[in-house]
Structures are given as structure tokens and as C-alpha cells.
Amino acid sequence: MKHVWKGLLLGCAAASLAMAQGATPGEKWRVKTTMQMSGMSMPGQSMEICKPTDADSVPMKTDDNCQIYDMKRTGNTQSFKMRCTGEEPVEGSAEFTYLGSDRYQGKMLMKMRGETMTMAYEGEKLGGTCDAGALQREVRRMQADAQRQQADYERAMAENCRKAAAEGQPYVLTQCKDPADIKTYCSAVLTHDRFGGLLDGEKKANPNVNFPGSRPLTESAQLCGFTVDVERTRLCQTAEANGKLQYLANHCPGEAQALARLQCAGRSYTTISDRYRGFCAEFASNQQEELRRQEENSPTGKAKGLLNAGKKAFGLFNN
């Protein structure tokens, strides 16, 4: 339906331009249009246009993608062809017959994507004068606006990509192509905070869902050429020195266990140093989650072992 209406509007625009372009002043006409396509008929539309005096002298370009050519006038019959290129190419041919000086009718056949659309026109002169160049100026203004908006959009996209890349946001994976942005992103993502965030996201990813952007860590590894486990381990080795204890607690089981023994065991919540309070709390809640995972995977006979594991976990802490 989208293509049908686009074609309809294109047809109207073509017919309007064919009649409207040229010298000013012009004369007012009402044009009724009906359309048939794929066995269905669209309700008629009526529009007023301003027809210039010598509208049939030269082929006329309607916009960047469409051109009217091979325009002929034989007696009361005027014909022309139209060709549009781009994403939706259109080929069309039209024939109009003037029934006196104040009325005409005609048809335009257009082919779009293998479908043929027939548009029927009936024109009636209303009298009075008008500015025949107004429509063309309006079309040009709209084209200029569209170009400006497109340029603004592209600038905003580029800015978004630069910002997202610097912050290591997975937005880059699906929206950005500039190699400089990719390079920046690949560097930014290999930090404790961003890499940890991607690891968290990967853990929570739905295994049944797979589309671009659904697994940012895996996709980042492919884009940037790193191995997830190698980078995770490398960041574990530098986490404590950089104060990235949240990363350590969540993504470095061996290092976290060792640090918990050293810094959390036997410490009370209120007297522990601020540096390790968050880490120890995170470690404690992770121990709880690990217990849950074991419980889920454990047959009933392992209940005692779980209880012991629970006691062991709590043994690290004083309330």
C-alpha cells in the first residue's frame, strides 16, 4: 500500500509539474484522479493546480530521481513518458486529450516493481489566474528542507557514534561504521567497567534470542578481534590495583575468593574500611547466588553439602 500511495502521489506530482512548470502567470484547473492497481481501485482524489500557458514545450525533470521525456502534442492529444530511478524505479507513459479549451482527460500507466498501476485524470479549467511557478518552488523548498534534515541527521548520527565509541557503548555495534569510531570503541570497551558491564549483559542474554546487538560482548570480540576469556583474565589481574573491586567480585572467582579471605573474613560491616565494604557485600551476595545455582543443579542427596557450603560462606563474615 505504501508503494501504491507513493505512486499515486508521484503521478499527481508528475501531472501537476507537467502542467505547472513554465511561465508565470498560469490558470487554475481542477484535476480529479483515480487509480487502479492489482485489481483494486482507490477512491478518487481532487486537487487544484495552476497550469502554465505553454506547458508542453520541453521534457521536464520532476525531481532528482524522476524525469519526464518524449513529450508530444498531436492535435488535441498530448503524451509523455516518465522514468524514476532509485530504490523504487518507475516507468510510466501518459496520454491526455483536450476536450476543448477548458477540459481534458487522460491516463497514465506506471510500472513499479513488476506491478502496473493505471491512473485516470480528468481536468477542468476553473478560470482565474495564478502563479504557475509556486508549486515548483514549494517542491524545491521541500527538497532543500529534506536535504538539510538528512544532513542534520547524519551529523547527529556521527556525533552519537563518536560519543558512544568513547564511552564503549554497544550502540556502536549496530549503528556505526566509521573505522575511527570502531577503533575508539574497541579501546574503550577493554576497561574494567565497560567489559564488566558487557560480561553482565552476556550472562543475562536470552539464549533463544539472537539478533544484531543482542550479545554485545560476543559481537565486540568479533569486531575488535579479542578473546573474551583472555581479556577477562587480564583485567582480573589489574582489578585490585585499579580499585575495580566490583569487577573482581563479579568476574574473577579465584581472585575474589582470595581477597575475601584477606579482607572480609571476620570483619564486621561497620568497622571494615570503605574500600572493601562494597566488595565484601558483593562477594556475600554472589555466594548466595552461587548457592542457589548449586541448589538448582543438585539432587536431593546433596542437601547436606549445600548446608555446609552455606555455613562456609557465612563464616567469612561477621554481621
Partner 1 sequence: MRRSGKPSAFLIGALLVMFTSPFATALDLYPRAARSYLLVRDAEVVAERAPTQRLPPASLAKLLTALVVLDSNWNAERWLTVSANAASTPPTRVGLRAGEQITAGAALAAMLIRSANDACRVLVENFAANASEFQTRMNVRAQELGMRDSHFVDPCGFDAPGQHSTVTDLLKLGRRAHAVPLIAHLAVTPEAQLITRSGRTVRFSNTNQLLGRLDGVQGLKTGYTVQAGQCLIAYARRAGHDVWLVMLGGSERWWLAHGMIDDAFAASNTH
Task: Give me the residues that bind partner 1 (CB under 8 A), please.
Answer: 197, 200-201, 204, 269-270, 274, 277-278, 280-286, 288-289, 291-292, 295, 310, 313-314, 317, 319
**Peptide bond connecting 25 to the previous residue in cis, omega within 30 degrees of 0:** yes
Give dist(CA 292, CA 235) in Å, integer.
27
Q: Please answer whether residues 49 and 62 qualify as being in contact, where contact means their C-beta atoms are separated by less than 8 angstroms.
A: no
Compare residues 4 and 313 and give the one whose CB is closer to partner 1. Answer: 313
Compare residues 126 and 284 and give the one whose CB is closer to partner 1. Answer: 284
Phi and psi at residue 237, in whole multiples of 5°? -70, -25
Compare residues 34 and 298 and give the one whose CB is closer to partner 1. Answer: 298
Task: Compute the least distance from the CB of residue 317 to partner 1, in Å.
Answer: 5
Compare residues 141 and 292 and give the one whose CB is closer to partner 1. Answer: 292
Task: Compute the least distance from the CB of residue 237 to partner 1, in Å.
Answer: 23
Give dist(CA 102, CA 306) in Å, integer.
95
**Grid coordinates belonging to 245:** 573491586
Compare residues 171 and 310 and give the one whose CB is closer to partner 1. Answer: 310
Task: Compute the least distance from the CB of residue 84 to partner 1, in Å.
Answer: 45
Task: Compute the least distance from the CB of residue 159 to partner 1, in Å.
Answer: 24
Residue written as grid cell 565486540: 220
Task: Compute the least distance from the CB of residue 315 to partner 1, in Å.
Answer: 10
Q: Please answer whether residues 72 and 79 qualify as being in contact, where contact means their C-beta atoms are separated by less than 8 angstroms.
A: yes
Compare residues 229 and 274 and give the one whose CB is closer to partner 1. Answer: 274
Task: Compute the least distance from the CB of residue 209 to partner 1, in Å.
Answer: 15
Give the three-state DSSP class for 205: coil
Task: Compute the least distance from the CB of residue 200 to partner 1, in Å.
Answer: 6
Compare residues 71 and 164 and give the one whose CB is closer to partner 1. Answer: 164
Compare residues 74 and 268 and give the one whose CB is closer to partner 1. Answer: 268
For 2-66, give the secondary structure using H, E and C: HHHHHHHHHHHHHHHHHHHCCCCCEEEEEEEEEEEECCEEEEEEEEEEEEECCCCCCCCECCCCE
DSSP string, 68-133: EEEEEEETTEEEEEEEE-SSS-EEEEEEEEE-SSSEEEEEEEEEETTEEEEEEEEEEEEEEEE-TT
Residue written as grid cell 561497620: 270
Task: Compute the least distance from the CB of residue 285 to partner 1, in Å.
Answer: 3
H or E element: which one contains 67? strand 66-74
All residues at 6 or more sequence positions from 204 whose CB lies less than 8 Å from its CB, including other chains: none
